[in-house]
Structure 1
Amino acid sequence: MILSALLTSVGINLGLCFLFFTLYSILRKQPGNITVYAPRLVTEGKFQQGDHFNLEQLLPSASWVKKAWEPSEEELISKSGLDAFIFMRMFIFSLRVFSIGGIVGIFLLLPINYMGSQLSDHSDFQNKSLDSFSISNVNNGSNRLWIHFCAAYVFTGVVCYLLYYEYGHISSKRLAHFFSSEPLPHQFTILVRGIPVPPGSTCNETVERFFKEYHPSTYLSHSVIRRSNKLQSLINDAEKLYKKFAQIKDKSEASQRQRCDGCFGLFGHKVDRLERRLQDIEDNLRMEQSSLSAKEVPAAFVSFKSRFGAAIALNIQGVNPTEWITEKAPEPLDVHWPFFSESFIKRWIGKLVAIFACAALTILFFIPVAIVQGLTNLEQLETWFPFLKSILRMAVVSQVITGYLPSLILQLFLSVVPPSMIVLSSLQGYISWSQIQKSACTKVLWFTIWNIFFANVLSGSALYRVNVFLEPKEIPTILAEAVPAQASFFIAYVVTSGWTNIASELFQLLRFICNLKNRICSGESADELEAPSIPYHSEIPRILLFVLLGITYFFLAPLILPFLLVYFCWGYIIYRNQLLNVYVPKYDTGGEFWSKVHNSTIFSLVLMHVIAIGIFGLKKLPLASGLTIPLPILTLLFDDYCRKRFLPLFKDFPAECLIKKDRQDQNDPHLSEFYEKLTRAYDDPALMPKNYTGRNDSHASPLLHTSDV
């Protein structure tokens, strides 16, 4: 790619970004769009819509930037939880890393690369190939390469220091958040599976007998799980019908809804057809709920009187390790109830299906990757489509096709990956939505790294070396040949995918169109609004991919760094705005996503080191190549230290913290009320009474009482 093609891509995407910013600053002021741009404030009752009009509503402004900047870390944690705090620390960490890297790369490495003459590019500046700004242009054996060598060591030290600082800072925030929080049900509860129910007994009796015998002083209550996935499906269908009927009921006249309950609707008392239909739905659901009261699953949520008591019970193990299997309970609203209806063999099969499906999806994705790589090569396009040769040689067309279109096509194909990974993770039998999203996040991350980075690199210039992974000694050389050759594509990808995506996140085009359609066609009100939650499983891998590109190309093609800095600056402000106004936290893992950020960054550093070893070897500087070998070893040792120093704090809270927090709660006058709520916290919502018609009779009484479970 030549410089003018990159500038064309930058111009197109800058135009789109400022268009989105302008439209957002205008549309967010319109009363009808408040459910799009501030649904969280609407659902929390902090924003009242107004019908008055003034000219300021039609003028773009940047006042939202100041409002997004003002809240402190403590305010962000209190409003959106530790996961949102971790998410924003990713941007802060990236800005610090690439600000330092940008100073070294732009003001030191980039001029050295440009002054080289290895590529012999004598075209004018506008038509210069972007490879002229990469390490490929530095002459073989040049002593200037020692500057790149030193930069790699300095940059690695900076990244490791910042990683250590962030891990420590986040750990302290996690502990502080724990001590300042109110008693929460999941802190006092564990999940027990594989309960051995003896003949003639029930799961309910077995659980109560076991914990009263072995944990008599701390055991509080339990809730046995029942097979309710089919019932939950019926409830979902019923709620959809209820919403539909509610809209019809508001719009239609009472006389049009009423009919007689006698023969053919001609005789008898007049009744509301919608009311009668909803009553039938309630009765059917109640019958289904009653039939499930005896369908127990050998699993239960067991609650204790203290956090320390729950932690001790978490480590119980029966004579048979496949029985009395324990794990931490998720938050009550985070429980993925369909999991409990699956047997062990179904969960095992589900894991196998997920693995094979991920592999198949990864392989199939090579098709769009091949298309994208073909678009970056005009000569190949002319071979494929000879009748378009005259059009392809037009300056504007060639610049758009090579600079903008490949990244756009790749991004369109990538949009189907996150929802696919959510489906696959759901098949694996996780007990909570947070675990499903964490699993999907890992799948999307490694899918993205492989298919966006490695697949493009190998298909671009080293596809013929398919045996690269069978020759470990050749991996640095192959990557050293292939990775710099794709620098221009990834610079364009940051501009196209990064900038435009971050701006479209602010504009919320799809939600805006849906809101406009609903207002025009169905007239839905804000009372039915449900604020969305941020999709960590898709957003975190996207950000970490850009971190990977920045670290990998730091000394190979530092021209990428200013474009990354723009992306992270915009992302920091935009996502703060979205977390405060749009997204509502559905769960809080306590910052467990940070381990994925740390691991991905370590992987990026080691990958940079491997490429550096190969590059210095290709550039006829074997001494520098040999002296680079300690870098990945030192980085992995640092990673091992961080795992032992910080990771245990993210898996479980220390006993010291649990005991201190339990002692604090002893002075809480509301503790008895909390225990009462705790006994009902993990009741299956599918077994709760459903009252769509407002009847006040025995049909609305609870199906199961605490003593039943």
Structure 2
Amino acid sequence: MNIAALLTSAGINIAICVVLFSLYSVLRKQPGNVSVYFGQRLSSQHSRRLDQCLERFVPSPSWILKAWETTEDEILATGGLDAVVFVRILVFSIRIFSIAAVICTVLVLPVNYHGGERMHTHIPFESLDVFTIGNVKEGSKWLWAHCLALYIITLAACTLLYFEYKSITNLKLVNIIGSPPNPSHFAILVRSIPWSSEESYCDTVKKFFSYYHPSTYLSHQMVYKSGTVQKLKDDAEHVCKVIIDASLENTCKPSFTQCWCSGGTTNSFKMISNEIDIDSEHGRTGYSDKHLDARKKECPAAFVFFKNRYAALMAAQTFQSSNPMLWVTDLAPEPHDVYWSNICIPYRQLWIRKIATLVASIVFMIVFLIPVTFVQSLTQLDNLQKMLPFMTELLKKKFVVQVVSGYLPSVILVLFLCAVPPVMMLFSAVEGSISRSGRKKSACCKVLYFTIWNVFFVNVFAGSIISQLLVFSSVTDLPTQLAKAVPSQATFFTTYVFSSGWASLAIEVMQIYPLLCNLFRRVILRIKDDSQSESLSFPYHTEIPRILLFGFLGFTCSILAPLMLLFLLFYFFLAYLVYRNQIINVYIAKYDSGGQFWPIAHNTTVFSLIFAQVIALGVFGLKRSTVASGFTIPLLIGTLLFHQYCRQRFLPVFKSNSAKILVDMDRRDEHGGRMGDIYEHLRSAYNQSSLMQDASNQLQCFGHFEDKRNDKSSEDTEKGKGIIQKDDRPWYVNRTLSSKAVLGAK
């Protein structure tokens, strides 16, 4: 690929971005689109009125200025700690790749361009290979420049990572201490409760914790079977009971309607009535039926509440039985974060589900080799002509060659990758995660592994196989083969940054799918009420892997093909503005994982650094530079030691709460006399849905109805009327505004 093909790809994506950003600046001002572009403001009522004027139809950059001026405190209040972590990932990327771009442009790029004996042509027709390390001749003394640049980038990245990890850890601790009482701090989730034929699960839980935790046990809330099938079954049973009760009020006089509704003859109807009368004689009318119904719906799982936070922490982290497969305890998720559908999964099935999802993920990755290999065939035009002779004449046209080699491969790969996040979210749900944030975190890791493998490794080896018909024969040959293949594929990765980076940001800010849904709802269905529109949660499992993948490509190609860093840096600047705008205006934070995505970002960045060093070691070996190779080994060891230190110093804070902090919070609440209010709050903290209300009233299992909330990635929702608690976060409350009022905050 030459410079002209690269500029063609860049020009197409720039044109797409300009058009979509201009359309967005106009569409966001229209009152009919307020539910699409201001969903977060609709829920929080932060707005001012908009005057009807011509300005609504003129593109303007006002949203960029608003996104730039938004403070971190505002992002924390709007999107939670996860949103702050996401923005910090972007800030870190901007900082480190600004340093890398300056160093590599000044120090490495001239060496790559003038390091070989190749005769240079006019710049637009210059091959991009002359800007890579592959153009440097063997035994060149200028390879010390690449080694020095690698040292500077690694030291800068580790320094920035350390301070970011430390800052986010402190922010997480401050957020825990300063937040209002959280029901999840007083609750644990107990699964795999032993079954007893003599008593219900509810009685078993009460007896167990009253005996083994007598001084700290407060109460518990049973988990009941839920889901679409269970709801239909419960509705059918409820209808039958209503019909039977109505029939009893008519003194059980036989009639055709009563016999038909009860599903039997007049005699059978009398038999049912007699059985109910017998129950009444033994004093079990009403309560017995509800008690039996509740026992049938009980799952071997429960939320157990304790009198203080420290007791709940200790109960969650210790074995409750000599058999670790029974009485399994975990810290309870926040009420709005509970993924009810998975709590009733038998605990013994979880390991089978994890193995099944692992196998399914591997199979999916293998199947995905087909489109990746096809994409790489488009980048090798000579081989493409051999495979498809009828395209020989077409591929002789200059513009067609530039589009096919510079733009089409990355676009096709991006389209195929659109199917990955929903599939991985499904796999994460099947795994059995007990929280929605945990499911999204698991999906984030799966999408990250998938994209790094398919976008980088498979493309590298597929391109190597197509062009050279070679593949490494052993693991020891891996660095050498990567050192040969990565520089040659750097141009493809650059165009991928255009298609998956720049264009995706324009599509993200446009919100095309919600915009079409809103248009259909208003024009076809004639629904004008904004309160009936769906709310979106931030797709961390899609966006974080994309950013970390670009970071991986940036570190890997920094000294190999530094030309990519300029385009990559522009992407991170644009992403910083776009995602801040989306956080403060569009997405509603329905739950928060407490910054659990930062360890993923840290680990991926360290892996990227180590991988870049391994590639550099292989390249220096191919170029026969023993000095550069020797200096790279200490850098590799130092990076591993830095990673181990961060794991020991910061990672435990993200895995569990500190006993010291929880005890201090308990004493503060006790001295302030707030424990009584907290205990009352726990009585309305956890409940699945309205179908459990009768059973919970009879069995004294406390709860509240979860708000109906829709997730962008097809999350399960539970319907019910939400109880607004005084210490809930602002995004837990659904409110609506008029379109004109919200549009004022443009």
Same fold (TM over 0.5): yes
Aligned partners of 2:461 and 2:471 also within 8 Å: no
The answer on 1:34 being equivalent to 2:61 is: no
CA distance in 1, matches of 2:71, 2:46: 19
CA distance in 2, matches of 1:640, 1:236: 53
Aligned partners of 2:94 and 2:573 also within 8 Å: yes
Aligned partners of 2:479 and 2:615 also within 8 Å: yes
Equivalences for residues 425-440 of structure 1 within 5 A:
425-440=428-443
Q: Deviations over 1:645-687 (max 9, x none)?
A: 0001111121111111112222445542332231232222253
For 1:300, the aligned partner's letter is A
The answer on 1:559 being equivalent to 2:563 is: yes
Shift of 1:621: 0.9
1:211 alignment partner in structure 2:
209
Instruction: Give structure 2 stretches of 5+ with no counterpart.
Output: 237-255, 258-288, 703-746
What's the C-alpha RMSD, in Å, of the aligned pairs?
Answer: 2.4
**SS of the residue aligned with 2:190?**
strand
Equivalences for residues 277-356 of structure 1 within 5 A:
291-317=293-319, 318-356=321-359
Give the TM-score of the pair, scaled to structure 1: 0.88
Moved more, 533-542 or 225-234: 225-234
Shift of 1:106: 1.1
The answer on 1:109 being equivalent to 2:102 is: no
CA distance in 2, matches of 1:620, 1:218: 68
- Change in CA separation of 1:686 and 1:128 when aligned onto 2, cut-off 3 Å: farther
Equivalences for residues 579-594 of structure 1 within 5 A:
579-594=583-598
For 1:415, the aligned partner's letter is C
For 1:410, the aligned partner's letter is L
Moved more, 441-450 or 195-204: 195-204
1:371 alignment partner in structure 2:
374
2:393 alignment partner in structure 1:
390
1:512 alignment partner in structure 2:
515
1:191 alignment partner in structure 2:
189
**SS of the residue aligned with 1:297?**
strand
Shift of 1:620: 1.5
**SS of the residue aligned with 1:327?**
strand
1:704 to 672, 697, 703: 697
Shift of 1:624: 1.8
Shift of 1:193: 1.5
**SS of the residue aligned with 1:220?**
strand
Q: Deviations over 1:79-104 (max 9, x none)?
A: 21100100000000000100111110
Aligned partners of 2:464 and 2:470 also within 8 Å: no
Q: Which has the higher contact order (CA 8 A, sep 6+)?
A: 2
Equivalences for residues 253-268 of structure 1 within 5 A:
none
**SS of the residue aligned with 2:302?**
strand
CA distance in 1, matches of 2:57, 2:233: 44
CA distance in 2, matches of 1:400, 1:63: 34
Shift of 1:71: 2.4
- Change in CA separation of 1:121 and 1:584 when aligned onto 2, cut-off 3 Å: farther
Aligned partners of 1:687 and 1:703 also within 8 Å: no
1:696 alignment partner in structure 2:
none
**SS of the residue aligned with 1:301?**
strand
CA distance in 2, matches of 1:510, 1:233: 30
Shift of 1:228: 2.0
1:578 to 576, 582, 590: 582
Q: Deviations over 1:496-546 (max 9, x none)?
A: 210000111111122212211211100222121232001111111011000
CA distance in 1, matches of 2:699, 2:170: 38
**SS of the residue aligned with 1:610?**
helix
CA distance in 1, matches of 2:154, 2:492: 25
The answer on 1:359 being equivalent to 2:358 is: no
The answer on 1:537 being equivalent to 2:541 is: yes
2:644 alignment partner in structure 1:
640
Shift of 1:230: 4.3
**SS of the residue aligned with 1:302?**
strand
For 2:502, the aligned partner's letter is W
Q: Deviations over 1:190-243 (max 9, x none)?
A: 1111222444122212211222222222211111222223456549999xxxxx
1:416 alignment partner in structure 2:
419
CA distance in 2, matches of 1:406, 1:601: 27
Aligned partners of 1:290 and 1:703 also within 8 Å: no
Q: Deviations over 1:108-157 (max 9, x none)?
A: 21111111225x25432111111111111112111110111111112111
Aligned partners of 2:192 and 2:347 also within 8 Å: no
CA distance in 1, matches of 2:235, 2:565: 50
Give the TM-score of the pair, scaled to structure 2: 0.83
Aligned partners of 2:471 and 2:481 also within 8 Å: no
1:97 alignment partner in structure 2:
96
Shift of 1:343: 2.3
The answer on 1:496 being equivalent to 2:499 is: yes
Aligned partners of 1:42 and 1:48 also within 8 Å: no
**SS of the residue aligned with 1:330?**
coil
CA distance in 2, matches of 1:577, 1:668: 40
For 2:597, the aligned partner's letter is F
**SS of the residue aligned with 2:223?**
strand
1:25 alignment partner in structure 2:
25
The answer on 1:180 being equivalent to 2:178 is: yes
The answer on 1:407 being equivalent to 2:413 is: no
CA distance in 1, matches of 2:566, 2:296: 63
Aligned partners of 2:220 and 2:701 also within 8 Å: no
CA distance in 1, matches of 2:699, 2:680: 10
Instruction: Give structure 1 stretches of 5+ with no counterpart.
Output: 239-262, 265-286, 690-700
Q: Deviations over 1:613-661 (max 9, x none)?
A: 1100111112321331222221111111000000011111211111111
**SS of the residue aligned with 2:198?**
coil
Aligned partners of 2:308 and 2:666 also within 8 Å: yes
For 1:682, the aligned partner's letter is Y
Equivalences for residues 607-622 of structure 1 within 5 A:
607-622=611-626
**SS of the residue aligned with 1:704?**
helix
**SS of the residue aligned with 2:304?**
strand
Q: Deviations over 1:420-464 (max 9, x none)?
A: 001111111111111111111111100010000000001011577
Aligned partners of 1:407 and 1:493 also within 8 Å: yes
CA distance in 2, matches of 1:617, 1:501: 38
CA distance in 1, matches of 2:6, 2:671: 64
Aligned partners of 2:28 and 2:37 also within 8 Å: yes
CA distance in 2, matches of 1:38, 1:556: 43
CA distance in 2, matches of 1:233, 1:619: 67
**How many residue pairs get matched?**
650
**SS of the residue aligned with 1:516?**
helix
2:15 alignment partner in structure 1:
15
